Chains A and B, each alone.
Chain A
Amino acid sequence: MDRNELKAELKRLVIDGLKLEHVTADQIQDNQPIFVEGLGLDSIDALELVVLVEEKYGVAVPDEDVGKQAFQSINSLADFIAASKA
């Protein structure tokens, strides 16, 4: 899967997985922080997204430090998945 496809898929995962009404994929910028005001997501949403990503891509988020780095934005998440699968 190329990187753009992966990023598009991640945006859909955020929206469908967290059942965000009133949010569309083009509202999520690649470098936009995922867990601040913008999308209105909190720490429980973060935890749920971590599990969704782990299940879907067979990757592991071993601790909070790795998670915080990886889940900063769609770009960093795509990097993390690509690196984990490399």
Chain B
Amino acid sequence: MNRRRVVITGAGTINALGNGVAAFLEGLRSGRSGIGELTAFDSRGFRTKYAAQVNDLRAPHWIPAALRRRASRSDMLALHATREALTTASFPALPDDAGIVIGATTGGMFGGEEYFRRKFLDQARTRRSNILATPVSTTVDLLAQLLECGGPRLTVSTACSSGANALGIAADWIRTGVTPVVLCGGSDSLCRMTFSGFNALQALDPAPCRPFDRRRAGLTLGEGSAMFVFEDAEHAAARGAKPLAEFLGYGISADAHHITQPRPDGAGAELATRRALEDSGVGIEEIDYINAHGTATVLNDVIETRALHAVFGVRAAKIPVSSTKSMIGHCLGAAGALEALAGILAIRESFVPPTIGLEEADPECDLDYVTEGARSAKVRSVLSNSYGFGGNNTCIILRAID
């Protein structure tokens, strides 16, 4: 059977590098850091004061006032990115049967924390309805309501691979004929819970994160959203849409090992990569750029490097590998979507984003991490890795439109 091809006809983002794809591209190209001092909440008592925060975040004015007042921080991020994705896709309104699938881990946790802090610590009056947006599933509900989408709707929460899995599911819905158009991506905001959790795990670097550096001491948390319009290639062609890239395939695996640590031998990561290559029908010699999971935790960066050696063999040393988390932080449930967008931009703009902050390479991290700044390169096929807590591994592969 001839499988339906999945193309990406729209893309939008908001993250610490700015609001919109143009700002993201400029940041990636210039190797600008979006990491700064956390102001969304008090960072005193934590290992670090750094985060990749979206400043001056507000709910957009195109949504009704009642919904605007209740939108969570994650909702706001998704709304901004969605609007841009629909605009680039030239969809004034999505088809009635369009699906929506979003990767997320914190949802409205930040708003929930604010509510309980005001109510119990400050003994102040606060709106009860502020906790309505707390569940992680409410962002897709809000989008579906606003965009009047009656198709399948799903929230994917598989820790740090949520965003990548959301894209894979969107592609599956299109490939299997469930619906020809899917709004998909990831959205996650900073909140005290994840900040405290990673702090307790001693997984936050006191300094801005340094992926693959021998001095690395953990990640820097970020927030943001990247949203896409995925579309059946024939559907897109029929309406004259111009695709940005093709979503070729993805692979998933589970480490079945530990609640936070990855498998030391990298076998889970390796398996997800092999499955992605197989699903995409792509050989190892075709991959031109790898957007690494590259969290800058001690374990991840070594194990990821190990897995890439295992899959790519001698070719591993020849493929540029970078961690864009060095610029936008680790955006958890949105990370896979944001990094897919970095891959699409690499394809479209013929460059490889750098890994910034990497000065002294770890001897066990011996790949080409693009430390000199963004590099001009012809990029046709991109592998993007996402490895989540609990051993949730997902790799996706994107390709240029020929």
Contact present for B128 and A45 (CB under 8 Å): no
Selecting from A4-12, A25-33, A36-44, A61-69, the interface stretch reads A36-44
Q: Is the interface of B mostly helix, strand, loop or mixed?
A: helix
Distance in Å: Cβ of B71 to nearest Cβ of chain A = 13
Contact present for A44 and B129 (CB under 8 Å): yes
* Residues of B in contact, count (CB < 8 Å): 11
**A60 contacts the other chain (CB 8 A):** no
Report A-chain residues with C-beta under 8 Å of the C-beta of B132: 44
Contact present for A40 and B127 (CB under 8 Å): no
Contact present for A41 and B66 (CB under 8 Å): yes
Which of B65, B128, B129 touches A40 (beta carbons < 8 Å)? B65
Report B-chain residues with C-beta under 8 Å of the C-beta of A54: none
Binding site for B on A (CB under 8 A): 16-20, 40-42, 44-45, 47-48, 51
Distance in Å: Cβ of B229 to nearest Cβ of chain A = 28
Report A-chain residues with C-beta under 8 Å of the C-beta of B70: 44
Contact present for A17 and B125 (CB under 8 Å): yes
Contact present for B125 and A44 (CB under 8 Å): no
**B64 contacts the other chain (CB 8 A):** yes
A44 to B129, CA, bound (A): 7
Distance in Å: Cβ of B58 to nearest Cβ of chain A = 11
A44 to B64, CA, bound (A): 13
Contact present for A19 and B127 (CB under 8 Å): yes
B108-148 CB mask vs A (1 if < 8 Å, else 0) is 00000000000000000101110010000000000000000
Report A-chain residues with C-beta under 8 Å of the C-beta of B64: 40, 42
Contact present for B128 and A19 (CB under 8 Å): no
A18 to B130, CA, bound (A): 10
Contact present for A48 and B125 (CB under 8 Å): no
Contact present for B129 and A45 (CB under 8 Å): yes
* A-B pairs with beta carbons under 8 Å apart, 26 shown: A16-B125, A17-B125, A17-B127, A18-B69, A18-B127, A19-B69, A19-B127, A20-B69, A40-B64, A40-B65, A40-B66, A41-B66, A42-B64, A42-B66, A42-B67, A44-B66, A44-B70, A44-B129, A44-B132, A45-B66, A45-B129, A47-B129, A48-B127, A48-B128, A48-B129, A51-B128
